[in-house]
């Protein structure tokens, strides 16, 4: 079974049918990783699964669930495009895509 990484951004976790597919994949494939970026607070149904599924990480602007542990952010203002004060910016889809596009240009320039 290949190892995979799934990134989810801009999804509210309000469709139970899709939720079950995402949650089941995380639970049954422990060598895969799923990262979810939530624009605002972490939905309760996602919190319940993420705190018991170590390969499902959730990031919001003020907190995260990583490795089953829920923690508040303590930002590093020196990381441009990632932090503003103690707010994690990549939970905003527009900021995430801008960050990824910037990293892709830097990577392409090095080739």
The average pLDDT across 95-109 equals: 77
Contacts of 95 (CB under 8 A, 6+ apart): 81, 89
Domain count of the chain? 1
pLDDT at 26: 93
The average pLDDT across 20-38 equals: 94
Single pTM value for the model: 0.82
For residues 43 and 81, give the distance between their C-alpha atoms in angstroms, rounded to a whole number: 25
pLDDT at 1: 47
Q: What band does 2 get if pLDDT is binned at 50, 70 and 90?
A: low
**Which residue range(s) make up the domain with 17?**
5-109
């Amino acid at each position: 079974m290949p190892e995979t990484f799934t990134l989810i951004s801009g999804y509210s976790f309000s469709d139970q049918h899709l939720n079950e597919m995402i949650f089941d994949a995380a639970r049954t494939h422990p060598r895969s990783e799923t990262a979810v970026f939530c624009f605002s607070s972490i939905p309760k149904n996602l919190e319940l699964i993420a705190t018991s599924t170590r390969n499902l990480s959730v990031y919001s602007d003020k907190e995260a669930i990583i490795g089953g542990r829920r923690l508040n952010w303590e930002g590093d203002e020196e990381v441009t495009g990632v932090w503003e004060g103690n707010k994690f910016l990549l939970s905003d889809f527009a900021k995430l895509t801008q960050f990824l596009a910037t990293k892709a240009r830097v990577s392409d320039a090095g080739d």
